[in-house]
Amino acid sequence: MVVLSACNLVIQSNSPAQITGQNPVGTAAITTLPANATQTEVATITTTETPTMIASPVLMTIVPNTPTWSVYNYTCELAAGGATMTMNLAWKDRSTSEDGYRVYRNKKVIATLPPDSTAYVDVVFIAAGNTVSYSVEAFAQGWQFSTPTVTYGCQ
């Protein structure tokens, strides 16, 4: 249903206005409004065609699912000028076709692991007031998908 209002029409004084039209799926009913009309008129649409859409086949490469964190926790051992952090990273292997995993610390690869890996432990010294960021990336020829980055520091 389409609602037409005289407020939306350009009407010349002392002349009737006609609304006629064609839309992609049918014909709009003809509605005549008097000049300076203030009432709302309702036009009905009579559907004469069924909209159709033709889909073309699309060649898609099926990529593996992104690894997701299952656990990431850490311990800190305070030392002069900072702390030694032991970060335990664990993720869900949601892919069946990866060539392996890369573990990143501060956006740099620190380890490359074989397919189906799901855990890594990193020990790193962190200067006082600094943080360390980690992510894990599943990779194969032509693709790679990473976990979200997690960032922690020792206080």
* CATH number of the domain to which 138 belongs: 2.60.40.10
Same domain (yes/no): 139, 98: yes
Domain extent for 26: 2-47
Q: What pLDDT band is residue 128 in, cutting at 50, 70 and 90?
A: very high
- Residue labelled with tokens 């409004």: 33
Q: What is the pLDDT of residue 53?
A: 53
Average pLDDT over residues 85-100: 93
Same domain (yes/no): 73, 140: yes
Same domain (yes/no): 32, 87: no
Higher per-residue pLDDT: 38 or 114: 114
pLDDT higher than 60, residue 134: yes
Structure letter (DSSP) for residue 150: E
Domains held by the chain: number:
2
pLDDT tens-digit profile of 36-45?
544 444 444 4
Q: Is 30 inside a domain boundary?
A: yes
Q: Is 59 inside a domain boundary?
A: no
Given the DSSP bridges, would you call strands 2-5 and 40-43 parallel, antiparallel or unpaired?
A: antiparallel
Q: What is the pLDDT of residue 80?
A: 93
Structure tokens at 14: 């002392």
Same domain (yes/no): 14, 85: no
CA-to-CA dists, residue 150 to 107, 146, 153, angstroms: 11, 11, 10
